[in-house]
Chains A and B, each alone.
Chain A
């Protein structure tokens, strides 16, 4: 080759392999174990809801880019697929298609593209969609199919462990009296419980976490801190009064704590940038989750907690600076 064609560009001259499409692919792979558990538990419903949600989210992004923003569609970066999967993970596996469509449009249209697309949205798009649906379709969003592989689209529905707990306590029962109505902790761990599509199995979600840590996609700071916060805080209440408060293990294994801590709160865009900031953010997510669960109107609080903490991220980023080199006073 002729030397006049040599590229002259400033250093560095090499770059990591872990670029945005790689990161997104990694996150998608990390979600697969949880999806498999869901398919095992709910059969076709899980496939149907997840598939539609991905399709609608990616489609919404494509159409908005092409016809509204008139720019090159950005779905190749994979983030719309993740939003679709996460939205599906946060809804019941028997949700009708039109509700999924509305959720997808809100997630992508309002939650993400209205702020300028990937990187600019203050709130986690899937959670925006999820909370919108919860407020608009409270019945459909809380009728949970039970964890039996039926391979048909209409199974029986019932309450989640957290729902049973909240309703029972409201009716004046005690925790020890309610526990026998629920699956065992081992069932919780492996995912034999009612709940949103992707939150069933702590085990599957932890495999995903392990993979993302191994690939260095995320660091331990947010997931570990958030789960530990929920554990410690519910542990304190449980220690004070085990008849009114469920055990910390129950709290981390049920509902969306694992899903939230591993896949929702770790969203790059809507979480703090420094390690210190991540820890503060994750503690906030954990504390708010517990407060809502124990004292709020809803049985579950992970989505609200993360959305509220999302709002504090700019503040956290401004005030929690990383440790500087050579500026010790």
Chain B
């Protein structure tokens, strides 16, 4: 019999890392269905790559799961109607990125799904599709990376030309404080996720998969371990709690002690990483023929009445989620889409939930105030924290001085924008703000 996962030594990544308070307030809130909104606004770009092309018109009637925008090219993604009803206005709206993008509005009527979609909870274990069929099905279903980046998933289950993949890593780390969407999904849909892992293994042609889960989700570790006791190919790897372990590069280092070369991809070291949410969506796409029309979103914050985890239809306005969790707390100064370390502050509570929206976090006014900024005291804490081995204090100075060439030589483009440096700086220096500026300039150099 296999070693039990919880007897395994905890692993973690080697460089940098910080330990923000994890504040997983919603960890014990079971997944609940958010009531259908009156209307949804579905951006046609929710992924990295080309925007999809709208194929419906104002006034059309759509059913849940129907394609409303068709992918354009391979690195692109289909967009489906997440609710049934009548197509409203198709115009540019502000999404959670803070930019305006074309979006399709649907006036919701009923909940009428395409009959090709299996909506039951029955677990379908047998995988009948071939590699290519899996890729096609995932592409059809519009699945994208749900950890936030939004890279089209079908492009990540095809082994890149000239590369060999030996290990699939499933990212169940959820290292962002507050967020519990992946945690709850792992607790409530472990068997579906495991089938999803097998689908991915078949598509990639690998015989080894490792599910990385941080030790603050002990229940999930035990649960997966239990279901995988007889499985010789999939194992669970418990990980020390440390941010940003959920970063692909950090997770690969933690689990396999391999380093993705600068500017390269995980495939360069024989690895593909998928997030548990994505893996679940792939299960649904392949086994249930269900496109990505809903996802789990954590709604949380220290003053939120009922920190919750909701199944939310894509395109639902953020305000609906906040209302369902007990309303916007009086104290709120900032609303963040995503986690507190890498999420985006949103100005407008009407912005729609997208495929990459993992959480809605309300931060109190008192906590949003930037503390007084001091000179850099050269404490080295930013260096100690940086998981990429950069010198953030120096990158800030170079950015301020407009020294793009030098910034490039100091590997500014390796920065994964995890925010650890800004988080840890005792002088409250806005390090990452300046690094972002620098990255934009350096990219233009080429």
Contact = CB atoms under 8 A, between A and B. Distances in A.
Interface of A: 1, 3-16, 18-20, 22-23, 77, 116-120, 219, 268-275, 278, 317, 321-328
B104 interface: no
List the 10 closest A-B pairs by CB distance, nearest first.
A119-B375, A12-B419, A273-B380, A268-B379, A324-B389, A14-B340, A13-B340, A268-B377, A326-B262, A325-B388
A274 B342 contact: no
A278 B347 CA distance: 44
B368 A13 contact: yes
Contact of B98 (A1, A8, A77, A327): A8
B81 to A, nearest CB: 28
B219 to A, nearest CB: 25
B426 A274 contact: no
A261 B380 CA distance: 17
B205 to A, nearest CB: 25
7 contacts: A12-B422, A12-B423, A16-B20, A16-B424, A18-B426, A275-B384, A324-B262
Interface string B331-372: 011111010111111111100000000000101010110111
Nearest to A23: B426
A6 B384 contact: no
Contact of A16 (B342, B387, B423): B423
Interface stretch (B126-134, B181-189, B427-435): B427-435
Contacts of B264: 326
A75 to B, nearest CB: 13
Interface stretch (B107-115, B135-143, B253-261): B253-261
B396 to A, nearest CB: 12
A108 to B, nearest CB: 16
A240 B249 CA distance: 51
Given A7-B334, A11-B344, A322 B371 contact: no
B378 interface: yes
B172 to A, nearest CB: 22
Interface size class of B (residues with CB under 8 A): 35 or more
B426 A22 contact: yes
B372 to A, nearest CB: 8
Contacts of A9: 334, 345, 368, 370
B325 to A, nearest CB: 16
A17 B159 CA distance: 45
Contact of A6 (B347, B389, B411): B347
B435 to A, nearest CB: 11
Contacts of A116: 375
A328 B345 contact: no
B426 A20 contact: yes
B436 interface: yes
B391 interface: yes
Contacts of A322: 15, 383, 386, 389-391
A6 B345 contact: yes
B116 to A, nearest CB: 40
Interface string B319-330: 000000000101
Contacts of B424: 16, 18
B414 interface: yes
Given A6-B346, A11-B338, A20-B427, 10 more contacts: A1-B332, A6-B347, A10-B345, A10-B430, A11-B345, A118-B377, A119-B375, A272-B380, A322-B389, A327-B414
Given A6-B347, A14-B340, A268 B380 contact: yes
B376 interface: yes
Contacts of A13: 334, 336, 340-341, 343, 345, 361, 363, 368
Nearest to B350: A3
Contacts of B428: 15, 19-20
A273 B427 CA distance: 14
B177 interface: yes
Contacts of B330: 1
Nearest to A12: B419
Nearest to B430: A10
A118 B376 CA distance: 8
Nearest to B376: A119
